[in-house]
Chain A
């Protein structure tokens, strides 16, 4: 017999009867279930940005970093943990929502918001670490519902005017937005108000910079910084309003 045949035969003979215990399959399926639950919990920290580009039609005027998107996706404080391209997408989404709000009736906008919130919830619970939809972890009902939502969203956002892209100011990150506000505040606020305003904005910028430098900060540092940023946002509300911005409180 040729050596190769002998090898084949001897290996088959050697492994004959080697079988996995029956319990192994059950253990595996249990671990898959646990794995799925665990990954869903950790994913809820991220924002489902990708839906923005896919589902909402182009927009009208972009008025800085407003927080309409927060009402759909959660807190702006979460956005600050994201990378720059995600922030840009988030701001783009915000601009589109602003346009939708301006061009739709209240009932139509509410309907659109509800559809987006539901889609966002599905994205949030099924996103991988890079922010991409992880269809492997979704069940059939979720996949079907998402497809339906996409169709409904297209219908709900049909007819919103798409302005020329050059008309839309380039999206900026939160820090740039704050820095721009400093410049704008110089012109529109009284010197007394500007002193307080600039102090609050500069402190906010310092915190945002900390996030940029250390995106993996400890939970303790994270909550401390977010609490302070929230407080600063509260104190800045009246200035924002005076300058014509509607900025929602960071949650």
Chain B
């Protein structure tokens, strides 16, 4: 709560022309934003660019920000739009060199081959990374950023019902994959120990 009040004061000072106040806004908010975006785009370089563009855009349009609302979801909304644009650029680049299809297949095959060995938490994070982008986004906002469902709806500009159904679908997929991996793992263990496959 205190942190939010601080942030509001910093935003007010930024609007009064104090550039250093905006530097402090960046200090307070950029790490968690960066972690989220890096998880979503999958590499540090793109994530750094997106964060940079996000803070530039936020500064440019800060006067339009409704200060009765929380700042972080507003900032995250900008970052996610930037991420979308970045993903589109990357996809177009991949298309250009004609490797998009192979790229996608190679990753899926690699994933399915390894899943049985990945039951630890790192494996779960990788399963989340493999989710379709829409679901991955929902999971990261909910469980890494602790956004409420209402905040997620506002940030993503989608209906609350859609947020709920996406959370449900994402959890269901992760649960199924974890169960599938667990089953494969137990079969593998039985096979290695000389047990029968039934």
- Residues on A close to B: CB < 8 A? 3-4, 6-15, 18-21, 24-25, 27-29, 31-33, 35, 134-143
A11–B27 touching, CB < 8 Å:
no
Task: Knowing A3-B171, A13-B121, A15-B39, say if A136 contacts B143 (CB, 8 Å).
Answer: no
B34–A136 touching, CB < 8 Å:
no
B122–A14 touching, CB < 8 Å:
yes
Task: Give Cα A143–Cα B34 distance, bound, in whole angstroms.
Answer: 33
In this complex, what residue of A is CB-closest to B144? A11
B175–A6 touching, CB < 8 Å:
no
B140 interface hit (Cβ, 8 Å): yes
- Residues on B close to A: CB < 8 A? 14-19, 22-23, 26-27, 30-31, 34-36, 38-39, 44, 48, 51-52, 55-56, 59-63, 121-122, 124-125, 128, 139-140, 143-144, 171, 174-175, 178
Task: Give Cα A116–Cα B124 distance, bound, in whole angstroms.
Answer: 65
Task: Give Cα A110–Cα B139 distance, bound, in whole angstroms.
Answer: 65
B59–A10 touching, CB < 8 Å:
no
Cβ contact of B128, chosen from A7, A12, A25, A137, cutoff 8 A: A7
Q: B139 CB to closest chain A CB, in angstroms? A: 7
Task: Give Cα A8–Cα B30 distance, bound, in whole angstroms.
Answer: 20
Q: A4-B171, A8-B143, A143-B16 are in contact. List 6 more A-B contacts (CB 8 A).
A: A15-B38, A25-B30, A35-B60, A138-B17, A139-B17, A140-B16
Cβ contact of A20, chosen from B30, B39, B56, B171, cutoff 8 A: B30
Task: Give Cα A31–Cα B48 distance, bound, in whole angstroms.
Answer: 14
